[in-house]
Amino acid sequence: MNQEDLFKNVISHAKEYGFVFPSSEIYDGLSAVYDYGQLGAELKNNIKAYWWKSMVQMHENIVGIDSAIFMHPTTWKASGHVDAFNDPLIDNKDSKKRYRADVLIEDHITKIEAKIDKEIKKAEKRFGDSFDADMYKETNPRVKGYIDKISSIEKRMKRCLDEGDLEDLKQLILDEEIADPIGGSRNWTDVRQFNLMFSTEMGSVAEGSNKIYLRPETAQGIFVNYLNVQKTGRMKIPFGIAQIGKAFRNEIVARQFIFRMREFEQMEMQFFVKPGTEMEWYAYWKEERMKWHRSLGISEDSYRFHDHIKLAHYANAAADIEFKFPFGFKELEGIHSRTDFDLKQHEEHSGKKLQYFDPEENKNYVPYVVETSIGLDRMFLAMLSYAYTEEQLEDGSERTVLKLPAKLAPYKVAILPLLKKDGLPEKAREIMAQLQEDYMCQYDEKDAIGRRYRRQDAIGTPFAVTVDHQTLEDQTVTIRERDSMQQERVSIDQLDGIIRAKLKS
Ligand code: GAP
């Protein structure tokens, strides 16, 4: 199955089983806004809990907060979002489709990269074991040409974006003969800047009303509270403040399901450090965050780093952790060295000192900040698309299984009485009552056992416990593992240990 079909299947699976629904679907939905259903809410909560545990519970020097979505409007002036949180947009005059100019160029670069990969694969086949890919890249004229081309496009794009040279950005699109990915036309409008913040009014009377924004990132709620937390929590630098919450962006190109939404959730952590040590911490958090992703047991080649060419207005270094989505490698998480930009800006706009007194150095300073920022919905999509598997079984039948990491699976155990009689449902309910305190369990007695297994496979339940007549005699059940489909007869007392071990692994 090609990746496009796979992605379509993931989307319809998400809807069919109650993971994700289009928002207000009875009114034909709202573009780039989605609701999470009964299983989606569980998966999302589990991702949040896993992140919170590793960032807050496992770090003595990181604490969590929950700040409001609405903030004083000056916050966004200070942070630079009012003036600089723009995307360069361009319209195609024929298809009437709107694009981000930088995304069109980046997609064009991805196509050139694919050509390099193709050349390398061909050469690898030709030269066999003695093939040295790095040497080939340096010496093969065609590959070198592609690499030079990418570098010159990237440099030109960076200059245009840094200097706001929208005319040359359009010229770059024309020079590279970039066509509308849908319509194929090269009939482009000029490039314009578009601010991504949503605004509304606070107060009901227009006269006294104030324009306020729906926060486009959770980070500013951390910055404005940093001294409150530092003082009340007696935090010593280096320390972190974490937060999970909604963010809103009026995205120009909102596509690819929940990858780019207008209302989404972020899991962010700001790490406050001594000025001059930020690059060390930046490197540290890059590695730590990659380790977190890998700890979920997802294949290593699903992730890669991408260092930014275009730095956000607040950063002096930035990298993405990219994930191999069905539509290619795309940003999942950002790690940014934000310098003292935000705190200094808030000092200036609020007139309040935001300095930290360092008892070791015996002096005051504004800390530097290293940020880790991951989109919860993107993490959800990464897990769902990675886990979604259509399998051909030995007996010729097929199954769809979500091979979710057990920690993240909505339900951990399904409790299935073999028959709906002879006291089996009662015994099954008794077992369920024991496990329910610690694990999300689902009871199911409808249909043949094979169909019930398939239903649990499709929602990613790692274990199915079947209660049969032997259970009534010797207090044993069969436990079936989702991925291997292996079944084992164990005593009821062993269930807790088996499930616990799996969730720890
Ligand atoms: N505080 C820094 C910040 O907001 P960002 O790179 O703009 O940085 C961080 O966003 C993460 O938030 C991204 O890596 C992505 O996972 C997620 N994200 C950003 N925009 C999103 C959108 N429109 N829909 C879903 N997730 C989004």
The mean pLDDT value for 9-28 works out to 97
User: Which are the contacts of 72, defined by CB distance < 8 A and separation ≥ 6?
Assistant: 212
Q: Is 252 in the pocket of ligand 1 (CB under 6 A)?
A: no
Pick the CATH number of 1-6+16-69+208-400 from 3.30.565.10, 3.30.930.10, 3.40.50.620, 3.40.50.300: 3.30.930.10
- At residue 208, the pLDDT reads 59
Q: Which CATH number does 86-195 carry?
A: 3.30.40.230
β-pair type (368-375, 328-339): antiparallel
Phi, psi of 442 (to 5 degrees): -125, 130
- At residue 442, the pLDDT reads 97
The mean pLDDT value for 103-112 works out to 93
Domain limits, the chain: 1-6+16-69+208-400, 86-195, 411-504
Please report the atom of ligand 1 found closest to the CA of residue 260. 24
The mean pLDDT value for 94-109 works out to 93
pLDDT per position as a tens digit, 401-446: 999 999 999 999 999 999 999 999 999 999 999 999 999 999 999 9
Query: What pTM does this model have?
Result: 0.88
pLDDT per position as a tens digit, 30-64: 999 999 999 999 999 999 999 999 999 999 999 99
Tokens describing residue 364: 């005051």
Q: Is 326 in the pocket of ligand 1 (CB under 6 A)?
A: no
Q: How far is CA 97 from CA 346, 413, 414, in A?
A: 38, 46, 47
Domains 1-6+16-69+208-400 and 86-195 agree in fold: no
| Residue 297: strand, helix, or coil | coil
The residue whose CA is least distant from atom 26 of ligand 1 is 375
CA of 374 to the centre of ligand 1 (A): 7
Q: Is 331 in the pocket of ligand 1 (CB under 6 A)?
A: yes
- Residue 231's identity, in one-letter code, is K
Please report the atom of ligand 1 found closest to the CA of residue 268. 1
Please, which pLDDT band fits residue 136 given cuts at 50, 70 and 90?
confident
Burial class (CB in 10 A: 0-12, 13-18, 19+), 68: exposed
Indicate the range of 195-209, 281-295, 308-322, 384-398 predicted with least confidence: 195-209
DSSP codes joined into one string, 217-283: -SHHHHHTTHHHHHHHTT--SSEEEEEEEEEE---SS--TGGGS-SEEEEEEEEEEE-TT-HHHHHH
Q: Is 245 in the pocket of ligand 1 (CB under 6 A)?
A: no
Over its C-alpha atoms, the chain yields an Rg (Å, rounded) of 26
| Residue 84: strand, helix, or coil | helix
The residue whose CA is least distant from atom 20 of ligand 1 is 260
- What does the buried/exposed string (b/e) look like for 179-200 if buried means 16 or more CB atoms within 10 Å of the residue's CB? bbeeeeeeebeebeeebebeee
Please report the atom of ligand 1 found closest to the CA of residue 261. 24
Task: Specify the fold of 411-504.
Answer: Rossmann fold (3.40.50)
CA of 36 to the centre of ligand 1 (A): 18
